[in-house]
Amino acid sequence: MGVLVEAVLPIFAVILCGFLAGRLSLLPYSGTSSLNYFVYYFALPALLFSSLAQAPVEQLANRNFILANLFILLGCFILTILIFRFIFQKSFPDVAMYGMITTYGNTGFLGIPLLVAVFGQDAAVPAAIVTFIYDLTIITLIVITFESARKLTDGQKSGMTPMFRSITASVLLNPINASLLAGIFVAVLGISVPGPIFAFTDILGPAAGPAALFSLGLGLSAERHVLKNKHYHVGEFITLLSLKLLGLPLLAVAAVYFIFPVSDPQWAASVVILSALPTGAVVYVFAEKYDTLVKQVPFYTLATTAVSIISISIFLMLLIG
């Protein structure tokens, strides 16, 4: 219970503050966008660059850690596709979007701030690596799947250039992953970064956590209409909820403690906690882009976020309590 009182409750208290600020009209709902842009373009990139640029190179090339994460996300992604293809009779390529719902977590606005609050600044390093692995793998799978299906439907030749551009724009050019790559580049090459740059990131980076958590609560207060959504099947919803908040973290436990043992307890626990996160908002971007599950994804995102408050707390208490 010590972890719950000292670390978890304060984190969700910040989310509650944002929620109450919206419900009590202390801040306009439109403030969510401003806070999100601040975190996405400034605070979080500063935090991640600073953490990775100063990380030991051997941490960045932790083979078991990388293999464990690939095993987790690919295992759950494939399992989801099989369940929705053969049990729920969903068609290709729509089944891939269900796979994204169960594997793509809200690392930027919940996972990284959560781990930093619980474990300290050093936790940003494993969180950053996991974020990049998931972005690179899942977004690449989604783009390839839907672009290939689109070309087959339209009778086009399978050109790789447009697909590569789409993957590059989605994965490598967003501010978070760009800062990750910059930090890794600096660390691996041993580049000496001027002191004022780290002073700048040390001021800006710590704001990412509270701003992201507060923004999450403010955003939830504006999403009550999503609960009225009737464009979903109860069986599908329960399956997605179970896979995302229970199946994925349990698969992570098996991966980091037994299949690909991760020696650092904090890094192992970080993988499990990040796997227990709710579905990330980026999934809706791709749902809109490929016109698939557009009406269902906002409900799934909100529902997994609400239930994850319980599941994350349980996993935290079991792992470090």
Per-residue model confidence (pLDDT) at position 317: 84
List pLDDT tens digits, range 264-303: 999 999 999 999 999 988 898 889 888 998 888 888 888 8
Could you tell me the fold of the domain covering 2-320? Na+/H+ antiporter like fold (1.20.1530)
Q: Based on C-alpha coordinates, what's the Rg of the chain?
A: 19
Could you tell me if 249 and 272 are in contact, meaning their C-beta atoms sit under 8 angstroms apart?
Answer: yes
List pLDDT tens digits, range 121-148: 889 899 999 998 998 899 889 988 988 8
* Residue partners of 41: CB distance under 8 A and separation at least 6: 175
Could you tell me if 249 and 278 are in contact, meaning their C-beta atoms sit under 8 angstroms apart?
Answer: no
What is the C-alpha separation between 65 and 59, in angstroms, rounded?
A: 9
| Averaged pLDDT of the chain | 87
Better-predicted residue by pLDDT, 73 or 119: 73
Per-residue model confidence (pLDDT) at position 263: 93
pTM: 0.85
Across the range 24-43, mean pLDDT stands at 88
What is the C-alpha separation between 183 and 222, in angstroms, rounded?
A: 35
CA distances from 57 to 142, 190, 200, 261 (A): 30, 9, 23, 19
Could you tell me if 103 and 248 are in contact, meaning their C-beta atoms sit under 8 angstroms apart?
Answer: yes
Could you tell me if 275 and 243 are in contact, meaning their C-beta atoms sit under 8 angstroms apart?
Answer: no
Per-residue model confidence (pLDDT) at position 208: 87
List pLDDT tens digits, range 196-226: 999 999 999 888 888 888 988 888 787 665 5
Across the range 90-115, mean pLDDT stands at 92
